[in-house]
Amino acid sequence: MSNVALQKVLIIGAGHNDIGREGQHDAAITQIGSAIRKLGIAVIFVDNNPFSVAAENNFADKVYLEPLTVSSLSKIIAAEQPDGLIPSLGGIQRINLIQGLIRNNVLKNNHVQLLQWDTDMIDLIVNPALMSNRLKALGQPVIASQVVASQAEADQVVSRVGFPVIVKSVAPRIEASRQLCEDEEDLARALEMGFKVSATKQCIVEQSIVGYKEIEFIGLRDCKGTSLLITGMENFDPVGIHSADSIVFVPTQTITDQEYQQFRQATLEIMQALHIIGPCHVQFALDPTTQNYYVIKVTPYFDRAMALAARATGYPLATISANLIAGVSLAEVKLPNNYRKQTALIEPVLDHIVCRIPVWPFNVLKKVSHQLDTVMESTGAVLGVGRSTEEALLKGLRATDESKYHVIVNQPQTYSEGELIQRLIHPQAGRMLDLLEALNRGYQIDELAELTKIDAFYFYKLSHIIEIEKALREHPFDVHALGRAKYFGFTDEDAAVAWQSSPAKVSQFGLENEIHPTFKEIEPTAGEFTEQTNTYYSTYEYDNESQRLAGDRVVVIGSGANRIGTNHGNDYLVSQLLFYLKKADYQPILINANPNSVAMTPQLAVKRYVEPKQVSDVLNVLAIEKPSMIFTTYHDQQLGRQLMNLGYRVIQIDNSLPQAQLKTNDQPAVEVISDGKDVTIFGISEIIAGNNLRTDVHGSISVFPLQDKAENQAIAALMPEIKRRVLSDGKPGVYTVRLTIIDATLRLASVEPMSIAKMALISKASGSSVTRLLLHVKLGESLEQVMYDYPDIAKIRKIFVQANTFPYNQLQIFGDEITGEPGHATGTVIAHGATLRDALIALKAGNEQTDF
Amino acid sequence: MADRYLILEDGSAYLGEGFGSPAVSTGEIVFNTSMTGYQEIITNQIYHNQIIAFTQPTIGSYGINHDSYESILPTVKGVVVRDVASISTNRQRRWSLDQYLKQQNIPGISHIDTRHLAKKLRVSGPMKASIVDVADAHAFDQLGATVLTNQQVAAVATPKPFPNPGTGLNVVVIDFGLKHGILRELSKRACNVTVLPYTATTEEIINLDPDGVVLSTGPGKPQDLPDSVLEMIQNIQNRIPLFAIGLGHELFAMANGAQIMKLSPEHHGANHPIREVITNQIIYASQGQGYAVDPETIDRNKLITTFVDLIDGTIQGLRYRDFPAFSVQFFPDGAPGPTDALDIFDEFVESMQQARGPIW
């Protein structure tokens, strides 16, 4: 039974998107929020991310768009008097905030119960040294590490743990990285530097485990102490590369049952000892030669690995976690009836392989170091799902949309032998090319495994891929070669390149020879039981499990990997499209390979295909579903055109995030919607250049709605011209009409599709989803039918403001690349106030980088 | 690698690629959903004369290791996988799976739609199957005509006693197709073990003066064993602490009047929640069972149910009310599989110590 005392809970959102903070938190919140509401518990949700799907569409009973600060949350808690606080949904940034709430007695004074954890868990998370001691006390092996204040003390540590060691500065005054020291000389240099930049003149000397295998396990535990393993996963790259920057495979590929059970047991024991309720992610370093291991991190809050575990296994992790958080035990969890009754209690097993591949921002930010190390630099990731390691890897690489990854178009690299070896030892983003190059140059597998510390197993898989590609090239239009290539993850496009033919011809040849794709369900019992997760992946086997849906099917192409700049809001747009398509009685089907995407939330699409977006991949899905329409968003315009040429009805949503920054100050714009025949105004917005506020700020601020009477009148006068311009291309859509002041007169400057950020801003300010309005005019409805509930904008008493956030701290960007261009943004924050000044103060309070 | 076929009694044929031995072989096909531990599963004698289909798609990725054998000589009839891994062999990983199966004369077949196969077998239950070079009428006739032996225990259990010396409690293990994990756990607890053939008489057992007796795991149908085994159990259980596992558990139940039923679908994996009745605790353990104790036939005056499978309600553990005799259907030693139930071995040791009484 659920915790009867709980009638209202507070969920704190993750805040703006960022490196390491994609949609995974919001995806968890949408599912957990709705599952908790189903238990009859009210959900209060606070976030300042305009792209939060959980903040719209009734995923919570009450939403506060407020800064995520101790003072603002204290007010909300005092006003709402929730019974409990769910601490695990907003990532690490929220843990610090909860620590503040506890220190200020906000939880105690308002009788708010900290759900899921003992109070001291907060300290354990915030202070790794405390966690390390706690783990040691539990008998778990942890890495030896010590704070030193002199060379002599450091020498003592080294004499105990031996080289190599890692040296880090304590409380560094500049962004200081970890130094790997192989010998005395390295150590002396690292210490000198470390002491110099440390505010306390101290360094941490730590035993190095660089080169070990990095293994991650996800467990789940209820309030009665029942616990189970969700899955184990294995990093392709060794310890030393941040696991978010590493290719990760689910399930583990190269560890024995003894090692696997050792990690399973350790994970469950740690959860038991720390009384964790809900999921927990434990990272291990495994010495491949001795089988000794270390616990390197315990993460009891939702993170990227949990999102991956849920997507990879098909286990309804978020829904079940919501029940556990509310005090329901694993044995009592009631799942929707597409799942088998005891699914919550069945330890997931997989009969497919999932590979997560990171995507880096380096094609946009070119002056940043591309070297991979212990600091996370990727902005997003994609999944490849298949029935072999090769297939999962090739599909994953394809889903990154970086065509250079294609084995088939992989040109020989020109760098010297010495440079190649350096690249193998010191990996850079996109290292897959270097590994393939080394294999092509005839490096031995065992030699490569030694150089890179990547298990030889993977090099056998890579050489197999090279072999298949070679066979394909040498046998044009050979059924066997094509069948084999497709069986291991190649596509029509790949074969077309190899055979110097066209994908259409290859596709025709494949169909004539009965090489058909088959779709299989991603479900957590490996075929032992009947589960309906409505989530599929393609492979080339005997049995196809995906049957065409009944009803009016619409395929929506998802946004793919989270990238810097232009697409961090795209996932919000796709999620909203799915939500409102379903509301309008369509059967929305999503194609998407982003594990952190909110659009993957089961409540949104009726069916999901975890597939890359290459044309042949998409055509395979379309052949099954035969949709009446296909929706594409900004990044898939080319794909949309190709599908249109093939005779499909494609609705292209071309709203994006702007690439370039507006340099002009205080530029007003009219935000409008058109059904192709008429135009209606949402309201007037304004852009304030960020440098109006501070000298060293990045980016600009959007304001909506503007209530300036004089300006409104001037704009009313321009209305006929606005209408004419918007209607000139006749396309229904939402547009931003920019105005400019020439000779003291307001003139019309440009008409462009409204940015997704603006759509989110207006949706939040008006309470009416702009995506829904856009969808309906795109579907051919008139403004009269669509705009019936859009509020009178003059009556909105608040002003909403919005600004971009940038990853300059994580990426250690220097100099002239810090421009504040929207193309470099990874997130957006929103705030509101009674006056513009109040709104800007709230915006500033809520921006964790304080440099909007 | 050569094209080969997996053919099934129901007339279906799956084209795949041969690995391991090129032999033609016939057995009963079952699917196993374990995520790791192919070596332990292949060498577990409970799979004698069976063909194992793994649902985990990549098998063989860490080779064959000296410390992961569950019997010295595997006697499975075939290994069916989606993908078999190539690996480097070295001192630690002496053999690849392919090399090992060649040595042991066991055929393997890869590139099989094992998900489709599992979904078929979950409905049909195990059926006869062959790994062959040509899937013609002749091959299906051969398959149809093959009669699989029901003397599996006799084929795999030791014909002669052998010791596994230790310095602690004196334990007799009755071998029905012993899984090494049992010896490993007894070794860890310093037990001085004598393994006896399943034909051992009560007298032979008592003469060794054991502190406890273990009835081991093994293959096949418990009803196919001679009644003398049940008599031996009846004579031992009220005199010496008894711990029975797998086939041993089924025999222990039969010796106390319960009946054994065919289980469909069978359990082969480690993903089922198992509830310990007395504590209400839920654990996970390796299972490999085609039979189960019929709960209706248990004499509740004699036996109490200690563990239940929460998926299908099958009995997973029994205990004698009046004597320190108990049994589990699952494999508490793991290998492969979770270690949640290892403490049952400690419980056995405790019951032996108690029965022994204070040492003067």
Higher-pLDDT residue of A409, A758: A758
Contacts of B336 in chain A (CB under 8 A): 257, 260-261
Does B351 contact chain A (CB < 8 Å)? no
Of the listed ranges A68-82, A351-365, A464-478, A783-797, the one predicted with least confidence: A351-365
Sign of torsion, CA B174 B180 B186 B191? Answer: positive
Q: By the 8 A CB rule, do A250 and A308 touch?
A: yes
Query: pLDDT tens across A86-122, in order?
Result: 999 988 878 989 999 999 999 999 999 999 999 999 9
Give A667's pLDDT tier (boundaries 50, 70, 90): confident
Q: Distance between CA A35 and CA A29 in Å, rounded?
A: 10
Residue A66: band (very low, low, confident or very high) from pLDDT cuts 50, 70, 90: very high
Are B115 and A253 inside 8 Å of each other by CB? Answer: no
Cβ-based neighbours of A434, under 8 Å, separated by 6 or more: A413, A420, A423, A424, A427, A428
Of the listed ranges A740-749, B23-32, B178-187, B194-203, the least confidently predicted one is A740-749
Q: List CB contacts of A267: < 8 A, sequence separation 6 or more.
A: A217, A218, A219, A229, A280, A282
- Only one residue has tokens 């393994």, namely B195
B55 and A342 within 8 Å at the Cβ level: the answer is no
Residue B40, chain A, CB below 8 Å: the answer is yes
* The pLDDT of residue A403: 67
- Shared domain for B169 and B119, answered yes or no, is no
Question: What is the torsional sign of CA A365, A369, A375, A381?
Answer: positive
Q: How many CA atoms lie within 13 A of A486 on its CB side?
A: 28
Name which of A237, A246, A223, A387 is nearest A308 in CA terms. A246
Task: Report yes or no: A494 and A487 within 8 Å, Cβ to Cβ.
Answer: no
For residue A1, name the pLDDT band (cuts at 50, 70, 90). Answer: very low
Per the structure block, which two tokens stand in for A688?
Answer: 């304030």
**Candidates B33, B118, B336; nearest CB to A257:** B336
CB nearest to B58's CB, from A265, A353, A542: A353
- What CATH number is given for A531-652 in this structure? 3.40.50.20
pLDDT at residue B229 greater than cutoff 80:
yes
> For position B101, which CATH number holds?
3.50.30.20
| Inter-chain CB proximity B335 and A257 less than 8 Å | yes
Whether B310 and A331 lie within 8 Å, measured CB to CB = yes
**pLDDT(A763) > 90:** yes
- Which helix (H) or strand (E) covers residue A710, if one does? helix A709-727
What residues does A283 pair with on adjacent strands? A216, A297
A111: alpha, beta or left? (left if phi > 0; alpha if psi -120 to 50): left
Q: Does B240 share its domain with B104?
A: no
Question: Has residue A664 got a pLDDT over 60?
Answer: no
User: What phi and psi, each to the nearest 5 degrees, are found at residue A285?
Assistant: -110, 125
Of A224, A387, A526, the CB nearest to B118: A526
Which of B7, B115, B310 is the best mutation test for A, with the most CBs of A within 10 A?
B115
Helices (H), A127-277: 128-137, 151-161, 184-197, 257-273
* Residues A14/A49, Cβ–Cβ less than 8 Å: yes
Out of A257, A529, A541, whose CB is closest to B113?
Answer: A541
Cβ-Cβ contacts under 8 Å, B270 against chain A: 347
B89 and B198, same domain (yes or no): no
> What are the backbone dihedrals phi and psi of residue A581, each rounded to the nearest 5 degrees, phi first?
-65, -45
Is residue B86 within 8 angstroms of chain A, CB to CB?
yes
Q: Where in chain A is the domain with CATH 3.30.470.20?
A: 128-139+210-348, 667-846
Q: B218 among the known binding-site residues? A: yes
Name the minimum distance, in Å, from the CA of A731 to any CA of chain B: 48
Digit-coded pLDDT (tens) for A274-322: 999 999 999 999 998 888 999 999 999 999 999 999 999 999 999 999 9
Does any CB of chain A come closer than 8 Å to the CB of residue B110?
no
Of B224 and A713, the structure prediction assigns the larger pLDDT to B224
Query: Is residue A411 scored above 80 in pLDDT?
Result: no
As a residue count, chain B comes to: 360
pLDDT exceeds cutoff 60 at A695: no
Backbone angles phi, psi at B32, to 5 degrees: -125, 130
pLDDT of A467 > 90? The answer is yes
ipTM of this predicted complex? 0.97
**CB pairs < 8 Å spanning A and B:** 155
Both B57 and B206 in a single domain? Answer: no
Taking CB atoms and an 8 Å limit, are B116 and A543 in contact across chains? yes
Beta strands in A14-70, from DSSP E residues, in sequence order: 42-46, 62-64
Contact B279/A at CB under 8 A: no
Contacts of B284 in chain A (CB under 8 A): 228-229, 347
Nearest by CB to A351, which of B56, B86, B338?
Answer: B56
Give the single-character DSSP code of A348: P
**In the predicted model, is pLDDT for residue A808 greater than 70?**
no
- Say if residue B208 carries a ligand binding annotation: no
Per the CB < 8 A criterion, the answer to whether B277 and B331 are in contact is: no
Dihedral of alpha carbons B188, B191, B192, B194, sign: negative
State the Cα–Cα distance between residues A325 and A328, nearest whole angstrom.
7
Omega prior to B273 cis, within 30 of 0: no
Whether residue B197 has pLDDT greater than 90: yes
Whether residues B90 and B221 fall in one domain: no
Indicate if B199 and B339 belong to the same structural domain: yes
| Same domain, yes or no: B158 and B141 | no
Mark yes or no for CB contact B118/A389 under 8 Å. no
Summarize the confidence of residues A330-340 as an average pLDDT.
Answer: 93
Tens of pLDDT, residue by residue over A724-749, are 999 997 789 999 998 888 887 888 88
DSSP labels, A206-246: EE--TTSEEEEEEEEE-TTS-EEEEEEEEESSPTTS-GGGS
**Do B212 and B344 share a domain, yes or no?**
yes
How far is it, in rounded angstroms, from Cα A653 to Cα A650? 9
Rounded distance, CA A211 to CA A209, Å?
6
On whether any CB of chain A is under 8 Å from the CB of B78, the answer is: no
Number of domains in chain B: 2
Question: Does pLDDT of A692 surpass 50?
Answer: no
Residue A527's contacts (CB-CB under 8 Å, 6 or more residues apart) are A351, B31, B33, B55, B115, B118, B119, B122
Length of chain A: 852
Residue that is written with structure tokens 């920054």 in the block = A661
**B290 annotated to a ligand binding site:** yes
A226 CB neighbours in chain B (<8 A) are 281-282
- pLDDT at position A642 is 95
The CATH architecture to which A128-139+210-348 belongs is 2-Layer Sandwich (3.30)
**pLDDT, mean over chain A:** 89
Q: Taking CA atoms, what residue in A is nearest to B59? A: A253
Same domain, yes or no: B130 and B247: no
B335·A228 Cβ contact <8 A: no
Same domain assignment for residues B233 and B306? yes
Interface of B with A in 9-28 (CB under 8 A): 14
Q: Which two tokens stand for residue A532?
A: 């309906």
Provide the pLDDT for residue A821. Answer: 65
Percent of chain B at pLDDT exceeding 90: 95
Let me know if B81 is exposed, middle or buried by CB neighbors in 10 A (0-12, 13-18, 19+).
buried
pLDDT digits (tens, 9 = 90+) for A365-393: 666 667 777 667 788 899 999 999 999 99
Q: Are residues B18 and B105 in the same domain?
A: yes
Q: Which candidate in B282, B286, B312, B342 is best for mutational testing of the A interface (most A CBs within 10 A)?
A: B282
Confidence check: pLDDT of A30 > 80: yes
Q: Give CA–CA dist A324/A302, Å, rounded.
A: 14
Calpha distance A358→A379 (Å, rounded) = 8
Mean pLDDT lowest for which of A36-45, A135-144, A362-371, B57-66?
A362-371
CB-CB neighbors (< 8 A) of A232 in chain B:
35
Domain boundary among B115, B147, B179: B147
Lowest mean pLDDT among A159-168, A485-494, B84-93, B103-112: B84-93
Assign residue B160 the CATH number of its domain. Answer: 3.40.50.880
pLDDT, tens digit, 9 for 90 and up, residues A427-448: 888 788 889 999 999 999 999 9
For chain A, residues classed under CATH 3.40.50.20 are: 8-115, 531-652
Q: In chain A, what residues touch B86 (CB-CB under 8 Å)?
A: 460, 464
The CATH number of the domain covering residues in A8-115: 3.40.50.20
Residues of A with Cβ-Cβ distance to B55 under 8 angstroms: 349, 351, 526-528
Q: End-to-end alpha-carbon separation of chain A, Å?
A: 46
Using an 8 Å CB-CB cutoff, list chain A residues near B67.
258
Nearest to B308 by CA among B356, B347, B267, B358: B267
Across A607-633, b (16+ Cβ under 10 Å) vs e yields: bbbbbbbbbbbbbbbbebbebebbbbb
Q: How far is A20 from chain B (nearest CA, A)?
A: 29
Percent of residues, chain A, with pLDDT higher than 70: 91
SS3 A265: helix
Q: Hey, which residues does A626 pair with through a beta bridge?
A: none
Pairing of β B192-197 and β B303-309: unpaired
- Cα(B232)–Cα(A494) distance, integer angstroms: 67
pLDDT at A644 over 60: yes
CB contact under 8 A, B87 and A342: no
Residue B158 above 60 pLDDT? Answer: yes
The pLDDT of residue A431 is 84
Closest-CA residue in chain B for A524?
B271
Q: Which domain holds residue B330?
A: 153-356
Helix extents (H) in A428-520: 432-440, 445-452, 456-474, 479-487, 492-498, 503-512
Among the three residues B118, B147, B176, which one is the final residue of a domain in this structure?
Answer: B147
At residue A673, the 3 state secondary structure works out as strand
**A667-846: which CATH topology?**
D-amino Acid Aminotransferase; Chain A, domain 1 (3.30.470)
> Is B336 touching A (CB cutoff 8 A)?
yes
State whether CATH 3.40.50.300 applies to domain A145-207. no
Write out the DSSP string of A789-849: G---GGG---EEEEEEE--HHHHT--GGG----GGG--EEEEEEESSHHHHHHHHHHH-TT
Cis amide prior to B295 (ω within 30 degrees)? no
* Catalytic site positions of B: 333
Residue A607 pairs in a beta bridge with: A589
CA–CA gap between residue A852 and residue A850 (Å, rounded):
6
Q: Which residues of A touch B37 (CB under 8 A)?
A: 256-257, 260
Name the domain boundary from B95, B122, B147. B147
Confirm or reject contact between B265 and chain A (CB < 8 A).
yes
Torsion of CA A340, A345, A351, A357, to 10 degrees: 110
Average pLDDT over every residue of A166-180: 75
Give the pLDDT score at A851.
Answer: 36
Query: What CA–CA distance (Å, rounded) separates B352 from A435?
Result: 58
Tell me: pLDDT of B332 over 60. yes
Q: CATH 3.30.1490.20 region(s) of chain A?
A: 145-207
Contact with chain A for residue B1, Cβ under 8 A: no
pLDDT digits (tens, 9 = 90+) for B45-100: 999 999 999 999 999 999 999 999 999 999 999 999 999 998 888 767 789 999 99
* Partner residues linked to B3 by β-bridges: B17
Same domain, B18 and B124: yes
